[in-house]
Amino acid sequence: MPTDTPSSPAGQPRRTRRESLFYDQAGMRDLTVDDHQFVVPANQGWQQASFRVQLFTGAGLRPIAVITQIVPTEGAGPVNHAERYAEAIWRHLLPTDPLPPIIIGHMLTADEGDGVQDLGWMPVDFRVADASQHTLQRPAIWGGRIDDAALQYLVGHPVDPGRGTIKGTRPRWWHRK
């Protein structure tokens, strides 16, 4: 769980949250889940959302969940609903873990010509409200944007930036009105 002041070795300058993330959590992980249509159901006034989740796990390291979503066609984006999405991933994919995964939000936007703009990778971490209920405190702790090389360093190998498909077909968002 993140602390209010990032850790640093004795006698060293205090690290930023982002520096602490890379210092404390970088390492080799395996891709253990690649769900191209992870769905967070509508509840308590929130609309349903779907996205691709790539879950990376490694011994002694917190899991990292990369959420790739085309906004706004698949629901609210991972920037505004990071806590809700992290709680769902923690609850359904990591129910026995004491801490939520570190989230890497990856937003794509569809333009009028059916092209896609990549808005980049955004690490997010959280404070736990109640681990037994898989709930998080708000607001999330944002780590700015990172590039492909930084994400590869954090996870231990390259991460697929694509939105993915379902059973060889285009994802649901493709069929817009």
Give the mean pLDDT of 128-140.
84
Alpha helix stretches (DSSP H) within the chain: 17-25, 82-93, 148-155
**Taking residues 96-119, what's their average pLDDT?**
83
Tell me if 85 sits within 8 A of 142, measured CB to CB. no
Tell me the mean pLDDT in the region 73-91. 84
Name the residue with tokens 């080799």.
28
The least confident of 8-17, 30-39, 65-74, 143-152 is 8-17
- Distance between CA 102 and CA 1 in Å, rounded? 10
Q: Tell me if the bond preceding 98 is cis, omega within 30° of 0.
A: no
Residue 166 binned pLDDT confidence (cut-offs 50, 70, 90): very low
HSE of 55, CA atoms in CB hemisphere, 13 A: 18
pLDDT at position 29 is 96
Nearest Cα neighbor of 28 from 121, 154, 151, 138 is 154
Sorting pLDDT into bands at 50, 70 and 90, what band is 117?
confident
Buried b (16+ CB within 10 A) or exposed e, 134-158: bbbeeebeebeebeeebbeebbbee
Contacts of 160 (CB under 8 A, 6+ apart): 34, 54
Distance CA(46)–CA(176), nearest Å, equals: 21
**E strand segments, the chain:** 30-40, 49-58, 61-71, 102-110, 116-125, 128-130, 135-136, 141-142
Domain boundaries, the chain: 34-156
Residue 6: predicted pLDDT: 45
Q: What is the CA radius of gyration of the chain?
A: 16
Q: Per-residue confidence at 95, pLDDT binned at 50, 70, 90?
A: very high
Dihedral angle, C-alpha 81, 83, 88, 89, nearest 10 °: 100
